[in-house]
């Protein structure tokens, strides 16, 4: 409905080697909110709209795993906030952003 009037609440993730890493909230203290799915998997209640090629990485898998671990330690599910600490923030201001250069 929001899309039709020129606005929206959009989900974002970073696709690396066939996995889409994203951040979401939950109520389990001390558990990361970083997760992965197959690319283009729609979040509950969502509709896939588009993907944007943001770059690519030649990083080896162990470096990618290290970056994902760092993001996992920074973004706990209980810290998720729809307005201030959401999936957009996690994919642009976290270690995950290192894997998709601008």
Kindly report, residue by residue over 8-37, the tens digit of the pLDDT.
Answer: 667 788 888 889 998 989 999 999 999 999
Say how many residues make up the chain. Answer: 102
Phi, psi of 93 (to 5 degrees): -115, 15
pLDDT score recorded for residue 99 = 56
Catalytic residues: 11, 87
pTM over 0.85: no
pLDDT at 54 > cutoff 90? no
Q: What is the domain partition of the chain in residue ranges?
A: 3-99
Is the pLDDT at 97 greater than 80? The verdict is no
Helix (H) / strand (E) element for 7: namely none
């Amino acid at each position: 409905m929001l899309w039709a009037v020129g606005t929206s609440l959009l989900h974002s993730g970073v696709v690396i080697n066939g996995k889409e890493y994203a951040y979401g909230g939950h109520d389990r203290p001390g558990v990361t909110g970083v997760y992965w799915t197959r690319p283009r998997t729609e979040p509950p209640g969502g509709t896939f709209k588009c993907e944007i090629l943001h770059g690519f990485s030649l990083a080896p898998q162990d470096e990618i795993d290290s970056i994902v671990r760092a993001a996992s330690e920074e973004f706990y599910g209980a810290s998720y906030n729809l307005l201030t600490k959401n999936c957009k923030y996690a994919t642009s201001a976290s270690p995950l952003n290192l894997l998709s250069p601008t």
